[in-house]
Structure 1
Amino acid sequence: MHIDDHDHGLAHDLKAMEALVARRRALKWFAGAGTAALVASCGSDDTSGGSLTVVDAATPTPTPSASATPTPTPTAGATCVADPQETAGPYPGDGTNNASGATSNVLTSSGIVRSDIRASFIGSTTVATGVAVKLTLTLVDVNSACAPLAGYAIYLWQCDREGRYSLYTAATESYLRGVQVTDANGQVSFTTIFPGCYDGRWPHMHFEVFTSLTNATSGRYAVLTSQLAMPSAVCATVFADTATYPSSAGNFARVSLGSDMVFADNGSAQIAQMTPTFTGSVADGYAASAVVGLAT
């Protein structure tokens, strides 16, 4: 057991993410001629996010539906990019840090493998409230013509409508965390809520990718840690309900993708892929879908 740098709160985390951004930019500079051709081939889509792999292929493209899981349909000329490695933030609950003096590793807990992640499942049974979202992620191999990756595990976690994270700032709760295994189409689906916006960060969801469920439930074996950026227009619509999302509108007004310490240094192709497509409404709930690119 050890106390990780993640345990010192948002202010410390923002400084850590600043260091991460600086390091990634330095790595990009040192890549030099070895990646020059790759960057050039991507044009303006890699203005600040490090090396970028873009693959053209008939990629499965989920079609969102508010009432059913999106079904992939081949789209000629579609592209996928490798999602960038991002910080897990201060509240991953994946065994890499601790909370209240105890190691937080929800991945080893019975019940973590679930599709509907709105309820707590350790001690409490509290259900996180907010605008419903059914999120489908399609995991693809950018080194194999965007082929779907079956049998991988994806761990998704996020804050609640008040910007709190279970196990940490909502210490007695375990909601809004769950693991699913990709099917033959490389897809997983989670039923969750739209995350709130807390001060200093663009609204987002976190995820980690593991090569198997065994690795996921053992903890600390992620091959990709990254984040999803919520679409600006949907954020504005959801946060207009200040009764449900009491502080999000004000926090959202003070942040932008360009100022966010995680998303700011990514290229436009990366940001486009990291931003899920939403359909639906606040009243009926949303269906969202995104492609996650992994370089195997």
Structure 2
Amino acid sequence: MSEEELHDHDRGLSFDLPTLARRRMLALGGGGLLAVAGCAAEASGGGGGSTSSPSAAATEADASCAAIPDETGGPYPADGSNGVNVLTESGIVRGDITSSFGSASGVAEGVPLTIELTVVDAASGCGAGLQGAAVYLWHCDRDGNYSLYSQGIENENYLRGVQETDASGLVTFTSVFPACYEGRWPHIHFEVYRSLDQATAARNALKTSQLALPEDVCDTVYDSDGYSRSVQSFARVSLDTDNVFSDGSTLQLATVTGEVSQGYVASLRLGV
């Protein structure tokens, strides 16, 4: 099956709970259990340089707080839902996801991108970050290919990693800017879990969603060396026509700062 045919399908991690009450809440699942987790103030993401798109991390509860929409994990999740499960591999818990781990040695090339995600409890107004949750993040490389699935990189596992949220609910990944491939707006996949111990299979995820990258930043990156394959694909798609983001992208559109020469920082608040 060709890369284009594969991409056509893409349309569309437990700390021990200290009380029995919390265990009962865990069994209930959903946003209710999250209200008991974490009480530190949420950290705000970002960096220097120019800024694009709406504010991603609030420092206190606000009226616009809402849970980020559930979205498809796509055909390349490597979370046990479609073949391979990288979540059970030693080494998956890491911040720098640019290189493969274990027996693989590949390195993803591209414009540097730091991804900062702050997990908050939407049910309590998004004012406190959730400590001890886990985020599994993955995305395509600068050629639009996914490790563990795409032809030629089936044995690589770069651009995939899991991080545990800190006292502010923050996780940070070091990566590269993803491509735009045919039919999809430039995006990053992620799953949120109650804890690292739970982040072993997609069935345990509290939330599966996607992050959208801002148009002006994408234009700039795709005009740089190594991203020529993205230019035409990006010209043929918009947030309004993308079948994941077309129903609204406000809660998924990251704030991005930086420049091509020094890299970018993408920040997003994840209400769960």
| Structure with higher helix content | 1
- CA, structure 1 residues 192+11, in 2 after alignment: closer, same or farther (shift >3 Å)? same
> Aligned partners of 2:246 and 2:133: how far apart in 1?
28
1:129-187 deviation per Cα after TM superposition (whole angstroms, max 9, x unaligned): 10101111110101112121111000000000000000000312100000000111011
Aligned-residue CA RMSD (Å): 2.1
Pairs within 5 Å for 1:3-14: 9-14=6-11
Stretches of structure 2 that go unaligned for 5 or more consecutive residues are 13-39, 50-56
Tell me the distance in 2 between the aligned counterparts of 1:66 and 1:168.
35
Residue 257 of structure 1, aligned match among 239, 245, 250 = 239
SS of alignment partner, residue 96 of structure 2: coil
User: With structure 2 as the length reference, what TM-score do the two structures score?
Assistant: 0.80
Classify the secondary structure of the residue corresponding to 1:200.
Answer: coil
* Alignment counterpart, residue 84 of structure 1, candidates 59, 69, 75: 69
Match of 1:64 in 2: 46
Which is strand-richer, 1 or 2?
1
What SS class does the counterpart of residue 80 from structure 2 fall into?
Answer: strand
| Counterpart secondary structure, 2:105 | coil
2:68 counterpart letter in structure 1? D
With a CA cutoff of 8 Å and minimum separation of 6, indicate the structure with the bigger relative contact order. 2
Gaps of 5+ in 1: 1-7, 18-57, 99-103
- Is 1:59–1:79's contact at 8 Å kept on the other side of the alignment? no
Instruction: After TM superposition, list the pairs within 5 Å mapping 1:146-295 onto structure 2.
Output: 146=126, 147-169=128-150, 170-241=153-224, 243-266=225-248, 271-294=249-272
Change (3 A) 1:187 1:122: same
What is the CA distance between 1:74 and its match in structure 2? Answer: 2.8
Shift of residue 276 of structure 1? 1.2
Q: Deviations over 1:194-250 (max 9, x none)?
A: 100111100000000000100103553101000000110000000002x31121011
Inter-CA distance 145–9: structure 2 relative to 1 (3 Å threshold): same
Retained in 2: the 8 A contact 1:230–1:275? Answer: yes
2:106 maps to 1:121: no
Query: Do the aligned partners of 2:67 and 2:122 also contact (CA within 8 Å) in 1?
Result: yes
TM-fit CA distance, 1:80? 2.1
What percentage of residue pairs aligned between the two structures are identical?
A: 52
* CA displacement at 1:64 relative to structure 2: 1.3
1-side partners of 2:239 and 2:232: how far apart? 16
Cα displacement (A) at 1:60: 3.2
Matching residue of 2:35 = none
In the alignment, the residues of structure 1 paired with residue 154 and residue 216 of structure 2 have an alpha-carbon distance, to the nearest angstrom, of: 31
